[in-house]
Structures are given as structure tokens and as C-alpha cells.
Amino acid sequence: MKTALITGATDGLGRHVAVRLARAGTRVVVHGRDAGKAERVREEIAQAGGPDPVVVVADLADLRAVDVLGDEVTDHIPRLDVLVNNAGVGFGAPGAGREVSRDGIELRFAVNYLAGHLLTRKLMPLLTRSAPARIVNVASLGQAPLDFADLQTEHGYDGRVAYCRGKLAQIMDTFDVADELRDQAVTANALHPATFMATTMVREAGGTPMNTVETGGDALIRLVDDPSLNDVTGRFFDVRRDAKAEAQAYDPDARRRLREAADALIAAALRG
């Protein structure tokens, strides 16, 4: 039986995919930051007849909680075939100001990029022991080049720009992970599942839904279990189409600078 960890599995796309995978026979590790919501997903999976899920609770805006989450999964889950980094923070409400995480890091950079960066590396040993395995990062077509002089968007803050920078960083990290694990039968790909799905994130930003979570779910599940993608890694997909990310994602020096900055921020957060 396959086991899949889905972050942000208590709402929207994550919840939809968690239930669908469970119904098809995958054991799902349901992550959320709200224990009550996570339990409701557990009940929904049980009603759908899926394998008994595991529930893990952590606030991804707290890097120490992410670190503990990685340990918890490693200690209690014997194998992990799929990691889906789905949890994220959207543009924010129109006119909202700059927000920071519990570690004082710009919120969208922290949750949309740093949390997945840390969790993926914590789980790499488990994923490689379980190989063949897959990592799927739920990214976006919304991407903006990183400004290394203002990586956390402290000047001229705009929620959309911060979101787009965080999503590009996530894609850059996907390409790094694919390179690191290329010879270990673990693939890593990034996905724009659909534009403006009918989710809480889109509604909070004042957007008008253009797609359903079913559309995004189809695209995500394809990357999770389509046999034709067994050896496909280090790619960015727009729904089901192989696509190109923003040019900076393919710049090895930019990715190196991003890694170094991320590792420094994470180390400082974990020191407390």
C-alpha cells in the first residue's frame, strides 16, 4: 500500500486530493494546522472507505514546528511514497499589509517556500528508503524574479509580488531537489494545478473562481501516480502541460544564493 503525505490537506485542493487518493487505496497522512479540521478529513476518508489515515498537526508558519513535523513523520511512518507540498498562503486580502511568520520572516516566503524546503529535506532519508517515490510541489504560474537585496519584500510591499516570489522560490527548490535525488529513484516536479480554483485562498484574495478543485485534482493526481511519469523529474507543469518557469529558476547561481539564504534563515529560526 502506498503512503502519501499531503500538507494543507484540510481544505481546498489538498482535501480533495487526500480523499480521492484514499478512496483509491492510498494511505494518506493528513496534515493541517487545525486539529479539528484534520479530524473531519479523517472522518471523510473513513466514510469514503479509504485506509485509516494518519493525522499530523503543525503550523507551517513556525519553522520549529516544521522541524518537529519532519521528525514525527520519520519516527512513526515506516514508508513514504509521495510527498505533496500543497499548503500555502495566497495574495492576502486586498489592501492587506505585510505579514510575518512566527519567526519574523515574510509570511508568504516562509510558508510557500521555506516550510517545504525544510520539510522535504527532513523527509529525504525516508523517501529514498521508500523509493521509487515522488515529490510534488504545488506551485503557480504566478512567479516573479527574486530580488536578493530584498528577499523578504520589505520595501514597497505587495502581497501579489510576495506570493509570486515565494512560488518561484518553491520551483527553484524543486529543481534543486530533483538534481539531488536524480540517482535515487525519487522524482521532484512542480505544478500549477489550475488558475483560480474555487478555494478559500482565491475567495480571500477577492478573486473570481475560474476552475474547480476537480480540475486541479486531476492534474495533481497525475503527477502523483501516472506510470508514464515514473522517470520524469525536475519539471514544471501547467496543469497537464510541460511548461517553462520564470527564467531565474534555471539559473544555477540564483538557486545557490537562494539555498544559502534559506539555510541561514532556517538555522536562525531553529536556534530560537
**Which residue of the set 113, 157, 163, 250 is catalytic?**
163
Three cell numbers written together for 272: 530560537
Q: How many Cβ atoms sit within 10 Å of the Cβ of residue 206?
A: 11
Q: How many Cβ atoms sit within 10 Å of the Cβ of residue 123?
A: 22
Note if the bond before 78 is cis, omega within 30 degrees.
Answer: no
Rounded to 10 deg, the angle between the 12-23 and 35-47 helix axes is: 30
C-alpha to C-alpha distance for 42 and 55, rounded to whole angstroms: 7
Distances from the Cα of 65 to the Cαs of 31, 83, 139, 170, 244, in angstroms? 12, 17, 22, 19, 33
C-alpha to C-alpha distance for 180 and 233, rounded to whole angstroms: 11
C-alpha to C-alpha distance for 191 and 189, rounded to whole angstroms: 7
Active site residue 157: no
Farthest-apart Cα atoms in the chain, separation: 51
Q: For residue 200, how far is the Cα from the chain centroid?
A: 16
C-alpha to C-alpha distance for 63 and 242, rounded to whole angstroms: 32
Identify the three-state secondary structure at position 98: coil
CB-count burial class (<10 Å; 0-12, 13-18, 19+) for 182: middle
Q: Which residues are catalytic?
A: 163
